[in-house]
Amino acid sequence: MTAGRGFIALAAVIFGRWTPIGAWGGALIFMYFSAFGQAVRIRPPGAEYPQLGPIMDAIPSQVYGALPYIVTIVILAGVVGRSIAPAADGQPYVKEGQT
């Protein structure tokens, strides 16, 4: 079950400028926000950070669940125009001698 993670995977590849190391870095960024959203929903800050607790409690828990997708859209809005796809993207592979 992907739960919408395919969109995030494509965004990580575009954000990483079509390189494996860049895609790995993009995936780390997006998964950090996913883990952050889960951590806040499981154990919201309270006693450790008394000034931050009421602020984070005021935000609905659905926002924390949507956080990786929101970050994905925000990052893609700034990166998608500057990322250049590989030249062979969308070209069918044909061996020599085949028609």
Q: How many domains does the chain have?
A: 1
Return the higher-pLDDT residue of 91 and 61.
61
pLDDT tops 90 at residue 3: no
The answer to whether the predicted template modeling score (pTM) of the entire model surpasses 0.95 is: no
Residue whose C-alpha is closest to residue 60's, from 82, 46, 44, 75: 44
**Mean pLDDT confidence for 46-67:** 81
Q: How many helices (H) and strands (E) does the chain have?
A: 4, 0
Give residue 12's domain range.
5-79
> Could you tell me if residue 14 is inside a domain?
yes
Residue 96 within any structural domain of the chain: no
Is residue 60 domain-resident? yes
What value does the CA radius of gyration of the chain take, rounded to a whole number of Å? Answer: 19
Residue ranges in 5-60 assigned as alpha helix (H): 5-15, 20-42, 53-58
Q: Of the candidates 30, 28, 58, which has an alpha carbon nearest to the alpha carbon of residue 44?
A: 58
Residue 85 lies in a domain: no
